[in-house]
Amino acid sequence: MNQQKLASLLSSNENNLTSILKRLESLGMILRESQNSDRRKKFISLSAKGKRTFVEARKQAEFLQSKILSEFSEKESIRLLQFLERCSTKLDTLKF
């Protein structure tokens, strides 16, 4: 994925994202490669370490979600997740 597309998906601008990507690259989490057509544009991908870290973080997030939702009935859990999805969708439309 190129940096511009990633910034758009994250509702961020490329300048803010650049410093984050530099840190992730220095930690070995991502690879940034120049695109043939424009050497200034970078293609971003997860490194093997980044993929492992993502999988582990996803497992932890799923574990925490199940623990939190265990306090609610199934109907309440579904409703809560629907409300959170609506909030997320609304946030995506806001301009900061």
Q: For residues 55 and 89, state if they share a domain.
A: yes
Q: For residues 61 and 40, state if they share a domain.
A: no
Q: How confident is the model at residue 76 (pLDDT cuts 50, 70, 90)?
A: very high
Q: How confident is the model at residue 37 (pLDDT cuts 50, 70, 90)?
A: confident
Question: What pLDDT was estimated at residue 96?
Answer: 64
CA distance 35 to 60: 34
Residues 48-71 pLDDT 10s:
999 999 999 999 999 999 999 999
Question: What pLDDT was estimated at residue 51?
Answer: 97
Helix or strand (DSSP H, E) at 52 = helix 48-69
Which residues does residue 33 pair with via DSSP β-bridges, in sequence order?
A: 43
Q: Which of 9, 24, 46 is the last residue of a domain?
A: 46
Q: How confident is the model at residue 4 (pLDDT cuts 50, 70, 90)?
A: confident
- Structure tokens of 39? 């050497």
Q: For residues 22 and 33, state if they share a domain.
A: yes
Residue 26: give the domain boundaries: 1-46
Number of domains in the chain: 2
Mean pLDDT of 3-15: 82
